[in-house]
Amino acid sequence: MKELKHISHFYFIGIGGIGMSALARYLHEQGKQVAGYDRIVTSLSVKLEEEGIDIHYTDNFDKIPEAFKMKATAQVIYTPAVPIDFGELVRFRESGMTTMKRAQLLGQISKTMTCLAIAGTHGKTTTTAILAHLLYKSDVKVTAFLGGILEGYHTNYLSSGTDVMVVEADEFDRSFLQLDPDIAGITSMDADHLDIYGDAATFEKTFHDFAGLLDVNTLLINEQLDLKGLKVGLHSGDYQAINVTIVDGVYHFDLKTPQRIIEKCVLRLPGRHNLSNAILAMAVAIEYGVNADKLKLALGSFPGVERRFTYRINTAKRVLIDDYAHHPTEINAVFQAVSEMYPGEEKLVVFQPHLFSRTRDFMEEFAQALSQFDKVALLDIYPARELPMEGITSKLLCQKINLLEKAPQIVVTVEKEDIKEFIDEMGTRIVLLLGAGDIGVESLKLIQKWADA
């Protein structure tokens, strides 16, 4: 494998993705020549182009400048989401060019800085973003690769120097095993990606393999996990939130650490899961050596992550919350948060299932999680990288929910173009749009439609 310092040109296949675009921006910042392909124009790809990175949107090997095809000085990076028979990828391989997965590039970069990594089935994006914000605001020279858009900063890439690397350690395709972490946190290990892993036991073993990359004194784990390391939690642990209260939707708490109690911490994100994420981020930062009082100030100003309990509308007439939740455990966490914020009010959810395999593997769990809401509307399954699976549909999930003993008042399937009409007809003030597909776009469309009405 070529060393990064010998490579002058990097070509990204899938450059507009949340993980790929951050890497492209980092390399461009380091003075490398960067170009790439993506299937569609996105806000991320537009920003890359504005920064001087050349991107094209058709599968056309001949459009790629020759400098990016030189074996000695160029490197091709691709995302696992790209099909193996994608034309440009095939042509590069036929020409003898080495190709590298995004995770391998991250792994190489992680060897060049002190690496702080956050893993977990749920919460890793928010925890990584909190950690990056904490270090940035505490004057640490940090480079952060985020799996979401950090609100306030409007970016998935944050850089004030290269002493420390903060990275989301992704379990998909066993990517996180490529990293060389110095300190790591693990939020959760609920089974997912069974299309890759096959079964829950294999999935969990991979997390144990990741934990094995670290010493027990440099691994921080959620209090509920069966791993050896420093425990972090809401109820017990080496790091623990105590004296937790909620005032006007804001968490106030004291943080117990192995050395002291940090009093009067504030977190403005709703949900106990986010409080747990914040404690883990604080713990990793403290273990790295950041001043605890600086961290307390920084936590109070954390702005949130795009599509993680994001308020699109928050008025007396209507509340519209947009969230990335696409796993039953995440839906449960969102329900806990919205119930804590709005006790006693009806709650309507519009959910877009993500992947046929995930819907199949967790059909019963999805039904139970969604049944907690008062009214449920299901969009068609977002296929992402998959082809349809016979019999696995949103209509089947709808039937499963309706058959439960405590079924919601309303459970229906809807088309995207009918979302506004359905919500208006229901007359429910608290509305949530959940899913990891393109449902986030629908929340923005709703805002415009209501403004035009």
289 secondary structure, DSSP code = T
Specify the pLDDT at position 20: 94
Tell me if 241 sits within 8 A of 205, measured CB to CB. Answer: no
Give the whole-angstrom CA distance, residue 15 versus residue 20.
5
pLDDT, mean of residues 79-87: 88
Which two three-digit tokens encode residue 289? Answer: 């050596």
- Residue 290 pLDDT > 70, yes or no? yes
Phi, psi of 316 (to 5 degrees): -65, -25
Over residues 310-314, the mean pLDDT reads 93
Rg (CA), the chain: 22
Query: How far apart are alpha carbons 98 and 268 in whole angstroms?
Result: 46
In the predicted structure, residue 2 carries a pLDDT above the cut 60: no
Complete domains list, the chain, with CATH: 4-101 (3.40.50.720), 113-300 (3.40.1190.10), 310-452 (3.90.190.20)
Residue 418, amino acid: D
What is the Cα–Cα distance from 399 to 445, expressed in whole angstroms? 28
pLDDT higher than threshold 80 for residue 25? yes
Q: What is the mean pLDDT of residues 303-331?
A: 93
Give the pLDDT score at 27: 96
Q: Which residue shows structure tokens 């507009």?
A: 16
DSSP string across 68-109: GG-TTTEEEEE-TTS-TT-HHHHHHHHTT--EEEHHHHHHHH
Contacts of 442 (CB under 8 A, 6+ apart): 350, 416, 419, 433
pLDDT of residue 175: 87
Whether the predicted pLDDT of 1 surpasses 60: no
Locus of tokens 């920084």 = 298
**What would the pLDDT profile of 220-261 be if each residue is shown by its tens digit?**
998 988 889 999 999 999 999 999 999 888 999 999 999 999
Which pLDDT tens digit goes with each residue over 357-392?
A: 999 999 999 999 999 999 999 999 999 888 999 999
Query: If pLDDT is split at 50, 70 and 90, which confidence band does 431 have?
Result: very high
Residue where the block lists tokens 């691994």: 219
On whether the CB atoms of residues 278 and 232 are closer than 8 A, the answer is no
Round the average pLDDT of the chain to a whole number and report it.
Answer: 93
For residue 370, give the nearest of 342, 344, 390, 399 by alpha carbon. 399
Q: How far is CA 85 from the centre of its chain?
A: 27
Over pLDDT 90: what percentage of the chain?
81
The SS3 call for residue 432 is strand
Show the CA angle centred on residue 339, arms to residues 337 and 343, nearest 5°: 140
C-alpha span between 144 and 124 (Å, rounded): 13
- Write down the pLDDT at residue 287: 97
Quick check: 165 and 109 in contact, CB under 8 A? yes
Cα separation, 233 vs 32, whole angstroms: 42
Per-residue confidence (pLDDT) for residue 113, from 0 to 100: 96
Find the mean pLDDT for residues 275-286. Answer: 97
Question: What six digits make up the tokens of 186?
Answer: 């693990």
Token pair listed for 290: 């950041």
Which amino acid, one-letter code, is at 305? V
Assess whether pLDDT exceeds 90 at residue 54.
Answer: yes
Mention every residue, 6+ apart, whose C-beta is less than 8 A from residue 206: 171, 174, 177, 197
Percentage of the chain with pLDDT > 70?
99
Residue 381: predicted pLDDT: 97
pLDDT in tens, 393-424: 999 999 999 999 999 999 999 999 999 999 99
Mean pLDDT of 62-82: 93
Specify the pLDDT at position 200.
82
Residue 190 has pLDDT above 80, yes or no: no
- In this prediction, residues 323-352 reach a mean pLDDT of 94
| pLDDT above 90 (res 156) | yes
Res 198: pLDDT: 80
What is the mean pLDDT of the segment spanning 154-182? 92
Exposure b/e, 258-277, CB count within 10 A at least 16 = b: eeeebeebbbbbbbebbbbb
In this prediction, residue 7 carries a pLDDT of: 93
Band (195; pLDDT cuts 50, 70, 90): confident
Mean predicted confidence (pLDDT) in 38-61: 93
Contact 432, 349 (CB under 8 A): yes
Q: What is the mean pLDDT of residues 176-191?
A: 91
Does residue 31 carry a pLDDT above 70?
Answer: yes
If you average pLDDT over residues 268-276, what whole number do you get?
A: 92
Q: What's residue 3's pLDDT? A: 67
Q: pLDDT value at position 193?
A: 74
Task: Look at residue 117 and tell me whether its pLDDT is greater than 90.
Answer: yes
pLDDT band at 434 (very low <50, low <70, confident <90, very high): very high
Residues 6+ apart with CB under 8 A from 290: 134, 135, 138, 140
What's the confidence (pLDDT) of residue 385? 80
Which tokens in the block code for residue 391?
A: 């019999």
Q: What pLDDT score does 196 carry?
A: 74
For residue 71, give the nearest of 98, 35, 94 by alpha carbon: 98
For every residue of 257-322, DSSP letters joined together read: -SS-EEEEEEE-S-SHHHHHHHHHHHHHHHHHT--HHHHHHHHHT---BTTSSEEEEESSS-EEEE
For residue 159, the cross-strand partners are 143
Q: Which residues contact 132 (CB under 8 A, 6 or more apart)?
A: 142, 144, 146, 150, 158, 166
- Token pair, residue 311, equals 């308020």
Choose between 441 and 249: higher pLDDT. Answer: 441
Does the pLDDT value for residue 194 go beyond 80? no
Looking from the CA of 396 toward its CB, the CA atoms found within 13 Å total: 13
Q: What is the dihedral of CA 33, 18, 109, 128, to 10 degrees?
A: 150
Strand, coil or helix: 357: helix
Task: Calculate ∠ Cα 56-81-195, nearest 5°.
Answer: 170
